[in-house]
A and B are shown apart, each in its own frame.
Chain A
């Protein structure tokens, strides 16, 4: 538990992805089974324990400390679990194995739970107390995704991330067979029904590169602007996975219900109302929800647009050429009007395709996909068989308003920039960008910030509004959370317009007009 507490603390304060990966890998390498497996499950949200409520925790403190001192302390610390971890009286400093702590939280009956938690807190030192209480409340908040956890696992041994993703959903904590495999043992049998299968990804391409290829060898289709998913019905077991193997089913029960077929399809998750696709912003409304309201299901119905088939009616099609898989899909009955097939685009020359790409018929298209007719379905990102040719980004000239210092390799540099557009006589913040520039440009931007600071708020500086940044972005959504009423997707600094006066930057109205 001591090592687990140390890991949580380091992760909570570490922003850089590589540093997080190293911390986790070291922990997993140095911690024995089954504790490392439970830690992994706790971090990836796969540990199912008894729900410990804030009320229970407050109750623990009621007869242990004066109410006023508790209130003052909680007010200062701001986090209930942390307040209790700090206030708990006791000199315990036992290195309780994590699996023992997990067992207490998993196996104790409701009535005995407060006493069991108190007894455990008595045995632990302050930082372990916090780790235990975070475990109990199920709220790790250390900024580590399940995907990153699998990357750390992949760094420990021979299996690649996609191999681990493929079997992940058949595994249960504390993952002994997984760790045995990583250490050089047997690959665990895929036990689960409807397992995730590694997704085939594409590489970017441009017109010049395409000219070297024969259009006749390729098919093309729209690149829909939703979320790439794998939709499976395996003998009645239905699953919806993201392309990194996250299980999205809980947030999309309407689509799960519509998977009335036998197979594993590759497609795009979209919001589709009668006659029109919803924007990516609409789709975001549906993401990351534990429960979905009836009203949201009605206003934002989920749909699947099929690109490809991995398994169909019991047959694994992945080794067959794309044109054969496509032919099967053309004739297939998907069993629901929520599911349709992404149409192929008619073209005989690359210029034909360029013309189509320049004028997509739907705003929910972000470019075209180009695939070799004979391509087999290969997990990962093989170079060659599949290309993405994305629409040119939108650009806007904005004015730098605030700058924040970066972390890690950018320590000491002002590297995160908030920019704004004109709205009448005022500049309204519309977004934040922190990449797109070279190291040399970063030094220039940093110098500009230091020389033009007009105010400071902690690590943030307000700068005189005189530098124009050309911002490239992939799309726009209406957003109630932003003062400007819109949110950019994937904004980055395309060019620094040292030459352009701030007064000539773009207006908010012109950006609003671009919202689909």
Chain B
């Protein structure tokens, strides 16, 4: 079977004809395989969902228990009609997985979803899966992106908290994954006191704790008086009246985009923290070299840079130009 008979882009997302399923479909489909729980990859309303146990739990938290007709936990090699699939850790967020699609005859395709190779205290590390075709994101697909050690970013946060002890530090972080990682990193960096969290993070933080991840003492950032110098909130909260309860706050934002000043300025932040859950340029190029697949398919992001690199390296690559995936979802 040819590669594009096994997997090809459609308006709903990547579709696998022999298994009659979509991967991370952006609209409701009868059968969906989901790499991870971010809203642009995991949507409600499918007939059946196959995903890791944690991703299924996250979807139930976000969309309610009836987010899908039926659900199946991904474990081991699973046969779906004419193909076999298996799930492997992607190192992006809790429960995130790459999906290997293995036809009986034809190339093995690994859809990596969003993935990251930097150590992350809140999820299992990325696992290289040998394949013939590697489907990769290119969120940070330019050589300017070399994410620093996240602990050095935490040192900058601590320095700012010491320099401005009277000012609350409000750090914007996406509710699923980034927020918990920032909290866990803050703990690693020696911030032991209570950390306040915005109400929109409460349920997902609790889920991480239930999964055995130590986030230390958390207090709600909803009271009129918040007794914590460090406050984590989803970026959307900064446009709301919620932020008015803080006196002269230092507004920060934790994202890979903060590596570029113009992006940080657009956000209007005072303390940009370069913390990313995506592969940066050295990681994505190293991963492609390591796996050495016959072909690289690029799903979304700044794919022009990665395509040019593949060309220079003499690698076969094509953009899938999938629509509907955000750089970094809210």
Contact = CB atoms under 8 A, between A and B. Distances in A.
Contact of B246 (A6, A407, A412): A412
A458 B143 CA distance: 27
Given A22-B163, A69-B309, A76-B260, A83 B268 contact: no
A13 B269 contact: yes
A87 interface: yes
Given A407-B268, A409-B247, A409-B248, A126 B241 contact: no
A130 to B, nearest CB: 9
A73 B270 contact: no
A411 B266 contact: no
Prevailing SS type, chain A contact patch = helix
A464 interface: no
B308 to A, nearest CB: 5
A124 to B, nearest CB: 14
A13 B144 CA distance: 20
B241 A446 contact: yes
Given A12-B261, A68-B308, A76 B244 contact: no
What band does the interface of chain B fall in when counting residues whose beta carbon is under 8 Å from A?
35 or more
B304 interface: yes
Interface in B274-330: 302, 304-305, 308-309, 312
B243 interface: yes
Interface string A1-22: 0000010001011111001001
Given A68-B308, A73-B142, A411 B243 contact: yes
B144 A76 contact: yes
B1 interface: no
Contacts of B156: 6
A77 interface: yes
A23 B250 CA distance: 13
Given A78-B262, A82-B260, A87 B143 contact: yes
B265 interface: yes
Contact of A411 (B248, B264, B272): B248
Interface string A401-442: 000010111011100000000000000000000000000000
Interface string A216-260: 000000000000000000000000000000000000000000000
A509 B272 CA distance: 45
B218 interface: no
Nearest to B247: A409
Contacts of B269: 13
A126 B146 CA distance: 9
A409 B270 CA distance: 13
A77 B163 contact: no
B249 interface: yes
A450 B242 CA distance: 13
Given A15-B270, A83-B144, A405-B268, A73 B305 contact: yes
A208 interface: no
A413 B244 contact: yes
A69 B308 contact: yes
Interface in A54-80: 65-66, 68-69, 72-73, 76-79
B251 A411 contact: yes
Contact of A412 (B238, B259, B270): B238
A73 B242 contact: no
Interface string B233-260: 0000011111110111101000000011
Contacts of B305: 69, 72-73
Interface string B161-178: 001100000100000000
A86 interface: yes
Contacts of A411: 170, 238, 243-244, 246, 248-249, 251
Contacts of A446: 241, 244
A16 B148 CA distance: 27
B268 to A, nearest CB: 5
Interface in B119-159: 142-146, 148, 156, 159
B271 interface: yes
B253 to A, nearest CB: 10
A375 to B, nearest CB: 40
Contacts of A15: 270
Contact of A86 (B239, B259, B268, B312): B259
Contact of B143 (A10, A12, A69, A459): A69
A459 B144 CA distance: 27
Among A76, A408, A409, A411, the one with the most B-chain Cβ atoms within 10 Å of its Cβ is A411
Given A86-B146, A86-B259, A72 B308 contact: yes
A273 interface: no
Nearest to A406: B268
A6 B145 CA distance: 19
Contacts of B249: 411
A72 B307 CA distance: 11
B163 A23 contact: yes
Contacts of A412: 238, 240-244, 246
Nearest to A442: B244
B270 A13 contact: yes
Contacts of A500: none
A72 B304 CA distance: 8
A211 interface: no
B207 to A, nearest CB: 28
A320 interface: no
Nearest to B162: A26
Interface in B212-248: 238-244, 246-248
Interface in A72-103: 72-73, 76-79, 82-83, 86-87
Interface in B170-188: 170
A13 B302 contact: no
A408 B308 contact: no
A459 to B, nearest CB: 5
Given A77-B144, A126-B148, A13 B272 contact: yes
B241 A450 contact: yes
A182 to B, nearest CB: 20
A76 B142 contact: yes
A26 B165 CA distance: 14
A449 to B, nearest CB: 11
B66 to A, nearest CB: 33
Contact of B239 (A66, A78, A405, A409): A405
Given A77-B262, A411-B246, 10 more contacts: A13-B265, A13-B269, A19-B270, A66-B308, A79-B261, A82-B260, A86-B144, A86-B260, A408-B248, A413-B244
Across the A-B interface, the 10 shortest Cβ-Cβ residue pairs: A412-B243, A86-B144, A412-B244, A409-B248, A73-B144, A78-B262, A72-B305, A13-B270, A411-B249, A68-B308
27 contacts: A6-B156, A6-B159, A13-B265, A13-B269, A13-B271, A14-B270, A16-B248, A26-B163, A66-B308, A69-B305, A72-B142, A72-B304, A73-B144, A77-B261, A79-B261, A82-B260, A126-B146, A126-B148, A407-B270, A411-B170, A411-B246, A412-B242, A412-B246, A413-B244, A446-B241, A450-B241, A459-B268
